[in-house]
């Protein structure tokens, strides 16, 4: 039984989708814990109500600056490792992780980013896509590397940007596909079905790595 630890910072809707898929599709895996950097993360309540261990490592307790970020990551890794994960999943997790943390979980650390990488890394992605006049937008599941939002792409979801869209409307349209795409990508990693060669990631079973409405 493979073990998954999911990191969240807020509502955790992607975490919920993964928990439901893992249980409903009887993956050879379990979500062993949900860990947040914010004590008020709504997703912690969902996890606890579904019998999943939860933990908080409050980044604000460590202060600001490089030393604080490193100390936070060290404590975060200690807590994560107490659940002995095979795969670590970032799901709406809003902290930039240190190279040391990323190296600890290299090759088994996933993130979902709300843009079509390499376009729009960082924050406020939907606002930026609309401002740029994009006609398509979406989300990307990628392996996490030290460089922010830059790791090998596992899957992408694409939606149209409609006339009159604001960031909230676009985010909602993308989120629906995220909830289909991320569980598939996590399952592929858990089941050892990904072939990774440099920046190229291929699903060995031939499942589509592009998700559309």
Ligand X SMILES: Nc1nc2c(c(=O)[nH]1)N[C@@H](CN(C=O)c1ccc(C(=O)N[C@@H](CCC(=O)O)C(=O)O)cc1)CN2
Residues marked active site are found at: 113
Q: Which of residues 109-168 bind ligand X (CB under 6 A)?
A: 111, 113, 122-123, 144, 146, 148-149, 151
14 annotated to a ligand binding site: yes
With CB under 5 to 8 Å by kind, the binding choice for 175 among ligand GAR, ligand X, none is ligand GAR
Q: With 0-12 CB in 10 A as exposed, 13-18 as middle and 19+ as buried, what is 161?
A: buried
118 vs 122 by CB, closer to ligand X: 122
Question: From edge to edge, which strands make up the β-sheet containing 53-56?
Answer: 53-56, 29-36, 2-8, 87-90, 109-113, 136-143, 153-160, 210-212
Q: How far is the CB of 133 from ligand GAR (least distance, A)?
A: 21
Q: How far is the CB of 177 from ligand X (least distance, A)?
A: 16
With CB under 5 to 8 Å by kind, the binding choice for 148 among ligand X, ligand GAR, none is ligand X
Q: Which of residues 70-109 bind ligand X (CB under 6 A)?
A: 90, 93-97, 102
Q: How far is the CB of 194 from ligand X (least distance, A)?
A: 17
SS3 content of the chain, % helix, strand, coil (to 5): 35, 25, 40
List the one residue from 10, 121, 160, 176 that touches ligand GAR (CB under 6 A). 10
Exposed e or buried b per residue across 80-99, where buried means at least 16 C-beta atoms within 10 angstroms of its C-beta: beebebebbbbbbbebebbe
Q: Is 201 in the site for ligand X (CB under 6 A)?
A: no
50 vs 100 by CB, closer to ligand X: 100
Is 103 in contact with 73 (CB distance < 8 Å)?
A: no
Chain position carrying tokens 């858990």: 190
With CB under 5 to 8 Å by kind, the binding choice for 5 among ligand GAR, ligand X, none is none
Distance CA 146, CA 62 (A): 21
Q: Give the list of residues 6+ apart from residue 175 with CB closer than 8 angstroms, or none.
A: 13
Q: Can you say whether the dihedral through the CA atoms of 10, 176, 53, 148 is positive or negative? A: negative
With CB under 5 to 8 Å by kind, the binding choice for 95 among ligand X, ligand GAR, none is ligand X
User: Binding site: residue ranges?
Assistant: 12-14, 69, 94-97, 111
| Residues near ligand GAR (CB under 6 A) | 8, 10-15, 91-92, 94, 112-114, 139, 175, 178
Contacts with ligand X by CB under 6 A lie at: 90, 93-97, 102, 111, 113, 122-123, 144, 146, 148-149, 151
């Amino acid at each position: 039984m493979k073990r998954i630890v999911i990191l969240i910072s807020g509502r955790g809707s992607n975490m919920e989708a993964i928990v439901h898929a893992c249980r409903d599709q009887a993956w050879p895996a379990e979500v062993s814990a949900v860990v947040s950097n914010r004590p008020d993360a709504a997703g912690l309540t969902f996890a606890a109500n579904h019998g999943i261990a939860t933990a908080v490592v409050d980044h604000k307790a460590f202060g600001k600056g490089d030393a604080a970020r490193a100390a936070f990551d060290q404590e975060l890794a200690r807590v994560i490792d107490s659940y002995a994960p095979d795969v670590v999943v970032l799901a709406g997790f809003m902290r930039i992780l240190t190279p040391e943390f990323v190296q600890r979980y290299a090759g088994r650390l996933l993130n979902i980013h709300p843009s079509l990488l390499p376009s729009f890394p960082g924050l406020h992605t939907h606002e930026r896509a609309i401002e740029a006049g994009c006609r398509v937008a979406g989300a990307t599941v990628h392996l996490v590397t030290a460089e922010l939002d830059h790791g090998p792409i596992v899957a992408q979801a694409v939606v149209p940007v409609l006339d009159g869209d604001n960031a909230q409307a676009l985010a909602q349209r993308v989120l629906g596909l995220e909830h289909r795409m991320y569980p598939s990508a996590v399952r592929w990693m858990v089941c050892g079905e990904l072939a990774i060669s440099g920046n190229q990631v291929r699903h060995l079973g031939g499942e589509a790595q592009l998700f559309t409405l």
